[in-house]
C-alpha cells in the first residue's frame, strides 16, 4: 500500500483517480470488513468515492509549496523526506492508523442526520478539491516545537453549527433554484473568497515561507495558519458582509434570515477605513467586468498577519480579523492596522481643523 501511494504521488501532475484505483482497494482489504464497506457504499451513494478521496487526501498527503522559489504547490506524501523534523510529518504507519481510526469513527458520527447533511453539502457544493468535514483537534502552541500536528488522534470528523450555516449559505448562493445570480456568486467564491479564505498569501520572508498552501497545511506556527473550522468561519463572515452590501437583493437576504442562515439584523456594510457604504451593484460590475490592473473591492486583515500589535483585539486569520475593503481603503491602510489608520485619520482631520484647511 505504501508503495502504491508513493508511486501515484511521484508524478509530474497528481491525479486523485489514479491514487484511488491503486490504493483504495488495499485500504478496504486492510481496514474495512466487507459488510462495512458495503454499508458505506449504499449509505453514501452517490458520494462514496468523494469520501474515499477525502480520506486519501487529508490523511496520507500534503500539498507543499515548492522550494526554493516559493511558487505554486506540489502534492507529497506525509512521510516525504523534505518534512523530516517538521511538525507536519507523519509516518506511513501512523497515517494508516489514522485512516483506520477515522473510518471506525465514521459510522457513529454519521448517525446524526445533521452530520450527514453537512457531509453531503461538502460533497455537492465544495469549492476546494476533496473538501470534507475533516479537521485538526488542536494546533501546537507557539512555543511547542516538538508536537506534530498531523498525528494519530488529532484528526477528526468535525461538526459545528456555524460550519453547517456556512455550507447552507454556500448552497443557497450556488443553487440556481435559490440564488439571485449563480454566475456572479460562483465567480466571487472562486476568485475572491476561496483564495483569501483557504489559501495562504505569498510570504517570501520570515521562517515560514508559503504561497497558496491550504491554511491548515502550512506550518502550524505560521501566521498564515488556520484550521478548517476557522477558515469556514472566515468564509461565513465574508459572505455575510457581502449580503449586507447596499443594494444586495433584499428578497434573498430576507429568505436567508428567515431560515436562520444569516443574522436577523444586518446593518449596511461599510469599508472599515473610509466608512463608505459598499455597493453590491458596483461590486458585481467590477467583478464580472474587471479593469486590467485594478481591484476595486479587496479582502484584507484588519490587523495585518505580520503585524502583531500590542493590545489588539483581533489577530491572525480569523473571522473577527477579516473584511472586505474598498480600493481607496486598502491604499490608505497599507501595512498598518485599521486601528492605527483610524488614529492617523483623526490626527490628520484635527490638523486640518486647527489650520482652517478645507
Q: Give dist(CA 291, CA 306) in Å, integer.
A: 29
pLDDT digits (tens, 9 = 90+) for 20-60: 999 999 999 999 999 999 999 999 999 999 999 999 999 99
- State the first-to-last Cα distance of the chain, in angstroms, to the nearest integer: 73
Tell me how many helices (H) and strands (E) the chain has: 14, 6
Chain-wide mean pLDDT for the chain? 95
Instruction: Examine the pLDDT at 293 and tell me if it is beyond 90.
Output: no
Among 206, 208, 188, 205, smallest CA distance to 197 is for: 188
Q: How far is CA 183 from CA 50, 103, 174, 206, in A?
A: 25, 37, 8, 39
Q: How confident is the model at residue 312 (pLDDT cuts 50, 70, 90)?
A: low
How many CB atoms neighbour CB 21 within 10 A? Answer: 12
pLDDT value of position 308: 57
Tell me if 223 sits within 8 A of 305, measured CB to CB.
yes
CA atoms within 13 Å, Cβ hemisphere of 146: 0
Helices (H), 111-211: 113-124, 161-174, 182-188, 194-198
Q: Beta strand 134-136 with 155-157: parallel, antiparallel or unpaired?
A: antiparallel
More confident: 183 or 296: 183
* E runs forming strands in the chain: 61-65, 73-77, 134-136, 155-157, 297-301, 322-326
C-alpha cell at 93: 504507519
pLDDT value of position 295: 80
How many CB atoms neighbour CB 207 within 10 A? Answer: 8
The pLDDT of 210-228, averaged and rounded, is 97
Which residues, in sequence order, are CB contacts of 86 under 8 Å at separation 6+?
219
pLDDT digits (tens, 9 = 90+) for 159-207: 999 999 999 999 999 999 999 999 999 999 999 999 999 999 999 988 9
3: three-class secondary structure by DSSP: helix
φ, ψ (nearest 5 deg) of residue 206:
85, 175
Helix H or strand E encompassing 99: helix 92-110
C-alpha cell at 45: 451513494
More confident: 317 or 312: 317
pLDDT digits (tens, 9 = 90+) for 130-157: 999 999 999 999 999 999 999 999 999 9
Instruction: Examine the pLDDT at 291 and tell me if it is beyond 90.
Output: no
Q: Give dist(CA 170, CA 189) in Å, integer.
A: 9
Amino acid at each position: 500500500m505504501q508503495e502504491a501511494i508513493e508511486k501515484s504521488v511521484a508524478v509530474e501532475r497528481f491525479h486523485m483517480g489514479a491514487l484511488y484505483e491503486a490504493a483504495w482497494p488495499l485500504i478496504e482489504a486492510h481496514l474495512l470488513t466487507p459488510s462495512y464497506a458495503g454499508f458505506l457504499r449504499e449509505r453514501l451513494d452517490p458520494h462514496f468515492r468523494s469520501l474515499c478521496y477525502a480520506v486519501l487526501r487529508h490523511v496520507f498527503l500534503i500539498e507543499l509549496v515548492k522550494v526554493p522559489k516559493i511558487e505554486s504547490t506540489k502534492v507529497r506524501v506525509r512521510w516525504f523526506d523534505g518534512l523530516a523534523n517538521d511538525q507536519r510529518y507523519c509516518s506511513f504507519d501512523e497515517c494508516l492508523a489514522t485512516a483506520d481510526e477515522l473510518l471506525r469513527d465514521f459510522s457513529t458520527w454519521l448517525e446524526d442526520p445533521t452530520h450527514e447533511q453537512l457531509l453531503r453539502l461538502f460533497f455537492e457544493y465544495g469549492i476546494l478539491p476533496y473538501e470534507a468535514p475533516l479537521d485538526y483537534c488542536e494546533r501546537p502552541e507557539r512555543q511547542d516545537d516538538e508536537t506534530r500536528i498531523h498525528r494519530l488522534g488529532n484528526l477528526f470528523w468535525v461538526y459545528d453549527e456555524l460550519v453547517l450555516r456556512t455550507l447552507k449559505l454556500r448552497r443557497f448562493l450556488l443553487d440556481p433554484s435559490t440564488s439571485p445570480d449563480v454566475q456572479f456568486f460562483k465567480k466571487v467564491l472562486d476568485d475572491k473568497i476561496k483564495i483569501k479564505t483557504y489559501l495562504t498569501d505569498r510570504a517570501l520572508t520570515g521562517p515560514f515561507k508559503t504561497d497558496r498552501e491550504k491554511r491548515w497545511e502550512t506550518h502550524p506556527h505560521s501566521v498564515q495558519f488556520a484550521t478548517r473550522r476557522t477558515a469556514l468561519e472566515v468564509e461565513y463572515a465574508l459572505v455575510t458582509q457581502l449580503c449586507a452590501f447596499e443594494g444586495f437583493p433584499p428578497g434573498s437576504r430576507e429568505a436567508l434570515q428567515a431560515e436562520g442562515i444569516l443574522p436577523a439584523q444586518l446593518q449596511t456594510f461599510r469599508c472599515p477605513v473610509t466608512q463608505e457604504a459598499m455597493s453590491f451593484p458596483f461590486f458585481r460590475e467590477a467583478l464580472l467586468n474587471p479593469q486590467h490592473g485594478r481591484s476595486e473591492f479587496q479582502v484584507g486583515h484588519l490587523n495585518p498577519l505580520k503585524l502583531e500589535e500590542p493590545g489588539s483585539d483581533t489577530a491572525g486569520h480569523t473571522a473577527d480579523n477579516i473584511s472586505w475593503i474598498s480600493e481607496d481603503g486598502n491604499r490608505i491602510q497599507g501595512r498598518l492596522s485599521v486601528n492605527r489608520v483610524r488614529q492617523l485619520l483623526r490626527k490628520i482631520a484635527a490638523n486640518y481643523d486647527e489650520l482652517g484647511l478645507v
